A and B are shown apart, each in its own frame.
Chain A
Amino acid sequence: MKALLICEYRQGKLLESTYELLAFADVLAAERVMLLVGTEAAAPKFDGKVYLADSGVYGEFNPDLHKRLFLDVVQKEHPDYIVFIHSPYGWDLAPRVAAALKAAQVSEIIGVKEGKFEVPSCNAKLRRLVSPRSAQVVLTIQAGAFSPQGKPAGTPQIEQVSIEAGSSRVEFIGYEAAEKKEVDLAKAEVIVSAGRGVGKKENVEVIAALARALGGELGATRPVVDAGWVEHTRQVGSSGQTVSPKLYVACGISGAIQHIAGMKKSGFIVAINKDKDAPIGEVADVLVVADVMQFIPALLARLKK
């Protein structure tokens, strides 16, 4: 069995998540071949074949051209599996490659069981075991689910790959960073974060009051930031900041994987949620089953004593 692993590269650098692909291929016990649209200097540290397409020619983020490059290498290598990280890059490209190959795709794999793939459903409240029915299969793996053992090492055997660049329907103009991080949550010892369960913008003040009472900073989940209840600079999660305070208090946060990725390394986690089955409970040291707007005032009264 052979796995073609699609590296991620951004602004001149290989993304570390690339090494998770190697760890996953080991779980499959598959032969590993990598493919990078980037530069030779950023090639992964790996003793094996790496197909390299020049990002100067094909663009760092040009889904149309990248798809055609991947299909070209698939033709050469005939891999059983084509593996992406379940990231915006993987979301974008995996289904197009799968459709072009008429191959099954299994998304957001967290484990391999009985030769089938385990994936989360319904905000991680359920799991599915999926079996592909096509000869070639496209897979995306959940970021963080397969950890590399030890430091990456090795010298790749580079093979250049090129296609007729020709016309691409989609033009990559460039990157844009989100707003500057005015609040550096990474330095906070205590973070008290508001999720959608706080109900409305006016209630955020109660969460902020708890943050002050504990000598910490206010954080928030993405939906709360998008609703304009809390400024973006306080967003915790994979599209915001990654934090590891001594104490993290998650208020009305169900625990989407993107949020958990940003706070699971906290020293001690308290979750306050009226839904006892909320996935945040999986990472919490203490789960308080209560409505945040009833519980936090009671907690504040005690902290003021």
Chain B
Amino acid sequence: MKILVCVKQVPDMESRFKVNSEGVWYDEKDLAFKLNEYDEFALEQAVRVKEQLGNTVDITVLSIGPDRVVEAIKKGLAMGGDRGIHIKDDHPWQKDPWQIASVIAAFARDKNFDLVFTGLQSQDRGSAQVGGILAELLGFACATTLVAFELNGDLVTVRQELDGGMCAILKFKLPAVVTCQMGLNTPRYPTLPNIMKARQKELLAFPVTNFIGPKNLAATERMYLPEKKGHGLVLEGDVNEVADRLVGVLKEKTTVLR
């Protein structure tokens, strides 16, 4: 069985963001990048399929982006991926989800993948589109927002999360693209021996121009910081003084301390 896991590297969401000089994306300077959280669930599930079925499973970990994304691919290999594919693109944010999905589809089309795992969405752009478009382009079955995944032969049973704590149970046959939600599993931490082993694994790089097909269907005209709504009081400084002030505010504005 051949599995493809598509991962993205994103900034730490606790960062302080600035807009870049073109005004259409964030400035990458001073940002720490990490594996997109939803893609960690995708990687973990792929590795669990390999543990279930044994060494007949081959896992390819793919990422599009500048050289920094090799770190994300290597983490996937240390978690249990077999080979890495780096599609080199210095400005991936200039591509809309349609183009990104088209690049992945162009890579994947003749490779006979049975199963494609990816995150529900990226933490930076948050469009939740690439998985669905990719399924459509490859002509695969598709299920999204998964919180449970079970494979029996070529039959997949999943729990897809809906709103308000409800789930839909769906069944379908491979090949399929599935997108992973928080709660699907607990991603493992790569162990030191596995990190060392990952260094020996195959990691191929291709320029994105090898896979370019259709043009963007949408463009970011402008990126900006949201206007701060006149939000309430900000208290900072010595924790003891701040605690005193907060108790005062709670006594004045609420009835809970009376």
Q: Are B26 and A105 in contact (CB under 8 A)?
A: no
Chain A residues with CB below 8 A from B246, complex form = 270, 286, 288, 299
Whether, in the assembled complex, A46 has its beta carbon less than 8 Å from a beta carbon of chain B, the answer is no
B218-241: contact bitstring with A at CB < 8 Å (1 yes, 0 no)?
Answer: 111111111011011111100110
Chain B residues with CB below 8 A from A287, complex form = 231-235
Residue of B nearest to A140 (CB): B128
A282-303: contact bitstring with B at CB < 8 Å (1 yes, 0 no)?
Answer: 1111111110001100110111
Whether, in the assembled complex, A149 has its beta carbon less than 8 Å from a beta carbon of chain B, the answer is no
Complex interface residues of chain B between 170 and 195 (CB less than 8 A to chain A): 170-173, 182-183, 186
Q: Are B236 and A288 in contact (CB under 8 A)?
A: yes
Instruction: How many A-B residue pairs have C-beta atoms within 8 angstroms? Tell me.
Output: 265
Whether, in the assembled complex, B53 has its beta carbon less than 8 Å from a beta carbon of chain A, the answer is no
Residue of B nearest to A272 (CB): B246
Would you call the interface of chain B mostly helix, strand, loop, or mixed? Answer: mixed
Q: Are A61 and B168 in contact (CB under 8 A)?
A: yes
Chain A residues with CB below 8 A from B223, complex form = 121, 126-129
Would you call the interface of chain A mostly helix, strand, loop, or mixed? Answer: mixed
Give the number of chain B interface residues (Cβ < 8 Å).
86
Q: A104-B96, A126-B26, A288-B236 are in contact. Are A88 and B136 (CB under 8 A)?
A: no
| Most chain B beta-carbon contacts within 10 A, residue among A122, A173, A174, A287 | A122
- Tell me, rounded to whole Å, the shortest Cβ–Cβ distance linking B183 to chain A: 5
Q: Are A99 and B98 in contact (CB under 8 A)?
A: yes
Whether, in the assembled complex, A125 has its beta carbon less than 8 Å from a beta carbon of chain B, the answer is yes
Q: Are A222 and B182 in contact (CB under 8 A)?
A: yes
Q: How far is the CA of A226 from the CA of B182 in the complex (A)?
A: 7
| Most chain B beta-carbon contacts within 10 A, residue among A86, A134, A278, A286 | A286
Q: Are B17 and A176 in contact (CB under 8 A)?
A: no
Whether, in the assembled complex, A39 has its beta carbon less than 8 Å from a beta carbon of chain B, the answer is no
Whether, in the assembled complex, B210 has its beta carbon less than 8 Å from a beta carbon of chain A, the answer is no
B146-186: contact bitstring with A at CB < 8 Å (1 yes, 0 no)?
Answer: 00000000000101111111111111110000000011001
Residue of B nearest to A245 (CB): B256
A258-281: contact bitstring with B at CB < 8 Å (1 yes, 0 no)?
Answer: 000000000110100001111001
Q: Are A107 and B182 in contact (CB under 8 A)?
A: no
Q: Are B133 and A91 in contact (CB under 8 A)?
A: no
| Most chain A beta-carbon contacts within 10 A, residue among B120, B161, B219, B225 | B219
- Tell me, rounded to whole Å, the shortest Cβ–Cβ distance linking A261 to chain B: 10
The interface-forming segment of B83-91, B137-145, B196-204 is B137-145
Whether, in the assembled complex, B243 has its beta carbon less than 8 Å from a beta carbon of chain A, the answer is yes
Chain B residues with CB below 8 A from A131, complex form = 218-219, 221
Q: Are A128 and B222 in contact (CB under 8 A)?
A: yes
The interface-forming segment of B8-16, B43-51, B60-68, B72-80 is B8-16
